[in-house]
Amino acid sequence: MPLATVNGISLNYQIKGDRAKGTDTKGGGPLVVLIMGTGSPGRVWELHQVPALVAAGYRVCTFDNRGIAPSFEAADGMTIDQLVADTAALIEFLDEGPALVAGTSMGARVTQELALTRPELVRKAVFMAGHGRFDLFQKTLSLGERELDAAGTKLPPKYDAALTAVLNLSPATLADHNTARDWLDLFEFTGGPVTPGIRAQRKMDRDFDRVQAYRGIKVPSLAVGFADDRMIPPYLTREVADVIPGGRYQEVPDAGHFGYLERPEAVNKILLDFFAS
């Protein structure tokens, strides 16, 4: 991935397109910008969403948010406004806007704020696990994560994997022995020390309520809820769609917080249908 200096920091990004369709060159197809959630690199999108979008004729930009190396880690802290400004500056740097923008979880919040404050950069917006506020559970969980980080506590790998699974996957996924085993093995293998940048992402303000502010979003918007999401329950996503003029809401069944990984075919169809409409 190349590094771009935008908004005063370095962002690690990548653009992919289809050479046969000519979308591997600048301007060869509509640009889609995908924004990842807390603690995850942009390459996660390459498992399912990037191939589907490229096959449909889009150019797709993924990047590592501030806090995720080799982008600027911002170990001393960051704000949602800085993440929004980073994304805006990247779209301007690429000079292919307005872009189709989709984000998940923290990335959905960035997308929401970008659509509100920089509508000239956004053609359409998708908020997966979108939210304008946190309820008591999310606030409590966030405080617990911060306490673990501050104490330097390292959970046993198998317990950490099980906790990650129950918080981010649907019970339907975990009910299948083989599928559950694969996910648990993956979480156990990929778990490890929390970096300073991820800790900084976790420390961002959780005591916010932006729901009514989103009445000001004017770009075509789709909020996608995951029916079994424990991290961002779908009612929080639906209330964002409900306040946006003309906002739409779709819900993916049998999907948890990682719905874009659990039910990629359904999520990809939603993205492609909305972007093409």
Q: Is 10 a catalytic residue?
A: no
Q: List all residues 6 or more positions away from 76 whose beta carbon is below 8 Å from its beta carbon.
A: 200
Annotated catalytic residue 76: no
- Detail the DSSP E strand segments found in 64-212: 99-104, 122-128
Spot the catalytic one: 18, 64, 228, 229.
229
With contact defined as beta carbons under 8 Å apart, do 161 and 169 qualify? no
Catalytic-labelled residue, pool 105, 142, 170, 221? 105
On whether the CB atoms of residues 219 and 119 are closer than 8 A, the answer is: yes
Kindly state the tokens that stand for 187.
Answer: 């979480």
Active site residue 131: no
Peptide bond into 119 cis (omega under 30): no
The active-site residue, picked from 71, 86, 221, 257, is 257
Counting Cα atoms < 13 Å in the Cβ hemisphere of 91 gives 26
Pairwise CA distance, residues 215 & 242, whole Å:
9
The CA-based angle 133-266-198, given to 5 degrees, is 45
Which residues are catalytic, by number? 105, 229, 257
